[in-house]
Chain A
Amino acid sequence: MKKLLTLIRVALKVNFGLSLLYHRVIRQKKDIWVVPVAVLVLVSIIPMIYGYVKLLAAMYGALRQVGQEQALLTFALLAGQFLILVFGFYYVISAFYFSRDLEMLIPLPLRPFEVMLSKFSVILVNEYLTVLVIVAPPIVYYGIQSRAGFAFWTNALILYLLLPVIPLAIVSILVVGMMRVVNLSRKKDALIIVGSLVLISAALGLQFVFARSGRSELDGQAMVKFFASPDSLLKQIGAGFPPSIWATKALAGGFSGSGLLHLIIFAGVSLVLFYGMLVAAENLFYRGLVGIGEISGRRKILSQAEMSRRVSSGRRPVQAIFWREWRIMNRTPIFLLNGVLTAFLLPVIFVIMAKAGSGDNTFILMLAMTSPKPVYVILGSACILLVCGCLNGTSSSTFSREGGQFWMSKVIPVSPREQVTAKFAHSYIIALLGIIAGAVMLIFGLHLKLAPCAAAILFALVGAVGMTAVGMIIDLARPLLEWTNPQKAIKQNMNVVFSLLANMGALAILGFFSYFLLKAGVPGNTILVLVFAALLLFSWISSLFLLRFSDKKYMEIEV
């Protein structure tokens, strides 16, 4: 047990870079800027939390009128667990199978479940932080509004701690099983990608089915019956995932018989799945892990003709760097899943959300898109296309993804401007793929007409230049080059979050700008011209800044 605790402590320290951060901030006083930046990030989240609480207040008010306020808790718990189910998958596969420290851990006298548990605990802590923002506000709001007592808050704490266990254990068991099969094959990378897509699609499909079932039509009599019972809505929302119902009842019931019973059921199922995961770890983990990084290359001597064909006749440095980026991104499963495939996945999620009718912002965008005024349709669609194209993290991790290989970019005789141009071209093409996928979804999924869609694509193409440049600037300012797990370079990279906030901020400013122009009675076409000009200016300034910044920053980065 002592060994396991030590292992978990080290894993947490490595993952969160605690020792390194302490050394740099406290000892070396080098990265002291981290403190104000962390404060700034926390402060920037406040308006979002405020908006979220306002939405919750409206939901609570509406639900209370029909005596269904417990459904707010089900909504929160279900949302949190689904988030873990979908995104936990990325974390699990990369932490369990692609952390570089695993090579060091396997030869140590540790049991497979101990190694896996240390990785699991890292993901668990990550999920506590992620889920806190989603789950805590509704629970706290409900608790305050319903003047909940000690029992509610005690159960809330226990449930918060247990919440990620069920989805993470399910994901872990599925991944460990999948990787055991993957490791039998020679085409491991391809199988990892296919398997990941199947599991993510299954999770998204479930979300779609549940969301649809949550808004089924009821006739008059059924409606009366429905609202007569205080837990009918929560049962309907949580029907597809019963743990969210048990958790709701445990929270609402407090220390009553029903509350404790449901708490015991929730904890019991968590424990059983956790144990199941340990059994799977002990039996399958190493069989899937050992040799997963090995690629059996074909060993054959190339003929003279083949050699001559394979030796390139010479590309320009910008082209050479572009293809390097393209190949490395597409051949690294974690990068491919988070970059290119996310660009394709985002439009699908958008359509699911829109069709299922969930998500407040999607609703506003849907209103804009179905509006008879072309200005709303074009700007709303352009906004969706930009989100599809630019929020996948390709540009904002372009330098970080190089990691320990960044030394090569420093020593090759290619100017920073040329290197940045090649990287920009790569990120922009991924954005373009996202925009095209988004446009296809808008036309076939949401039946958008071709003419406004073409205009929206034009707006998105211009805006994507600026957004790609902003992502690259943020990553270049502080590239994350010291990582042991490729997931850290893209999914757990704060630069991706900062870039997302900055780009969403830019979109919000443009949104307000158009709104005020509309309010002021400016004609629609004039607004379109002005927004287009603003996008052009934004893209021109940010790409120019990126080039200038690269000259300075490439010199400064020491590896």
Chain B
Amino acid sequence: MLELQHVSKSYNKGKVKAVDDLSLVVQPGEIFGFLGPNGAGKTTTIKMIVGLLKPDTGTIGLNGLDTQKDALKCKSITTYVPDYPAIYERLTGMEYLNFIGDVYGVMKKDRLERIEKWLEIFELAQAVASPIQSYSHGMKQKIVLIAALLPAPQVMVLDEPMVGLDPRASHHLKELMREHCDQGKTLFFSTHIMEVAEKLCDRIGIINKGKLIACGTMEELRKLDKEQSLEHIFLDLTEK
């Protein structure tokens, strides 16, 4: 479970409020889609959840643990995929996956089984022995996704994970996200693709100018805006 309580973050000595008193809960087994225009505060929120940024106020809880007080425990049950795959380009794909396996303490048997499975699904098996520097953008995104899946985390936090993926990989990712949550685990992701959010998410949150302006299931959001598509709801809500 992921729980944000009155979380705020500002830049420029408080002049720019990136996230303003944000509270939300993502239940176990739930895929939560986080939507918002550019600069609305999505990435800032995500970075606070995974510990890259420190909230000015408020608390973030993961499975009952406080991300500030129990940082290490929280990190050991969470994996994160950033919006841009800035990873160790001088390592080979396999060295990178081994590094992630080592720091998360994944056993050899599980490691081998999972790496083989994900490499095949994402069609990356033939590139895994090559330096990441030789990968295309989409391939880098795939290796980051495999690395995030490798520790079989309780919570996955993904920032625009579909960017750069080909349609097949994108389809597999959506299936994997569903599978992850069907095991009772939590998934929080941001996206600009309304169709994906509409079809995949159990609940959706829309953030604008740092404030959560809508949150609920697709049905609940439709009630807010005369039962239109998510795209229309998003446009109407973020226009204000």
| Residues of A near any B CB (own CB < 8 A) | 27-30, 293-302, 307-308, 310-317, 319-321, 323-324, 327-328, 331-332, 404-405, 407-408, 410-415, 555-556, 558-559
Closest to A330 in B: B90
Closest to B128 in A: A302
User: Smallest CB–CB gap between A169 and chain B, Å?
Assistant: 31
Apart from A405-B88, A412-B103, 5 more pairs, CB < 8 Å: A301-B126, A307-B112, A311-B111, A331-B90, A558-B47
B102 within 8 A of A: yes
**Is the Cβ of B108 less than 8 Å from the Cβ of A314?**
yes
Please report the C-alpha to C-alpha distance between residue A327 and residue B51 in the assembled complex, in whole angstroms.
Answer: 26
**Is the Cβ of B88 less than 8 Å from the Cβ of A314?**
no
**Is the Cβ of B72 less than 8 Å from the Cβ of A413?**
yes
6 nearest A-B residue pairs (beta carbon): A297-B130, A297-B134, A320-B102, A413-B76, A413-B75, A331-B90
**Is the Cβ of B80 less than 8 Å from the Cβ of A411?**
yes
Interface residues of B in 101-126 (CB under 8 A from A): 101-108, 111-112, 115-116, 125-126
| Residues of B near any A CB (own CB < 8 A) | 12-13, 47, 50-54, 71-73, 75-76, 78-80, 82, 86-88, 90-92, 94-95, 97-108, 111-112, 115-116, 125-131, 133-135
Instruction: Select one of A313, A321, A558 contacting B54, CB under 8 A.
Output: A558
User: Smallest CB–CB gap between A555 and chain B, Å?
Assistant: 7
**Is the Cβ of B126 less than 8 Å from the Cβ of A299?**
yes
**Is the Cβ of B90 less than 8 Å from the Cβ of A320?**
no
Known: A299-B130, A312-B108, A314-B105. A558 touches B88 (CB 8 A): no
User: Smallest CB–CB gap between A412 and chain B, Å?
Assistant: 5
Closest to A307 in B: B116
User: Smallest CB–CB gap between B156 and chain A, Å?
Assistant: 12
Contacts of B88 in A (CB 8 A): 324, 328, 405, 408
Contacts of A404 in B (CB 8 A): 86
Instruction: List 20 interface pairs A-B (beta carbons < 8 Å), by A numbering.
Output: A30-B12, A295-B134, A297-B130, A298-B129, A299-B126, A302-B128, A311-B98, A311-B101, A311-B115, A314-B107, A314-B108, A315-B102, A320-B98, A324-B91, A328-B90, A407-B86, A413-B75, A413-B76, A555-B71, A558-B52
**Is the Cβ of B129 less than 8 Å from the Cβ of A300?**
yes
Please report the C-alpha to C-alpha distance between residue A311 and residue B107 in the assembled complex, in whole angstroms.
Answer: 10
**Is the Cβ of A411 less than 8 Å from the Cβ of B134?**
no
Closest to A304 in B: B116
User: Smallest CB–CB gap between A181 and chain B, Å?
Assistant: 21
User: Smallest CB–CB gap between B51 and chain A, Å?
Assistant: 6
Contacts of A311 in B (CB 8 A): 94, 97-98, 101, 108, 111-112, 115
**Is the Cβ of A314 less than 8 Å from the Cβ of B106?**
yes
Closest to A189 in B: B90
Contacts of A29 in B (CB 8 A): 13
User: Smallest CB–CB gap between A542 and chain B, Å?
Assistant: 25
Closest to A293 in B: B133
**Is the Cβ of A328 less than 8 Å from the Cβ of B75?**
no
Known: A311-B108, A328-B90. A300 touches B54 (CB 8 A): no
User: Smallest CB–CB gap between A67 and chain B, Å?
Assistant: 58
Closest to A404 in B: B86
**Is the Cβ of A302 less than 8 Å from the Cβ of B125?**
yes
Please report the C-alpha to C-alpha distance between residue A294 and residue B131 in the assembled complex, in whole angstroms.
Answer: 10
Contacts of A327 in B (CB 8 A): 90-91, 95
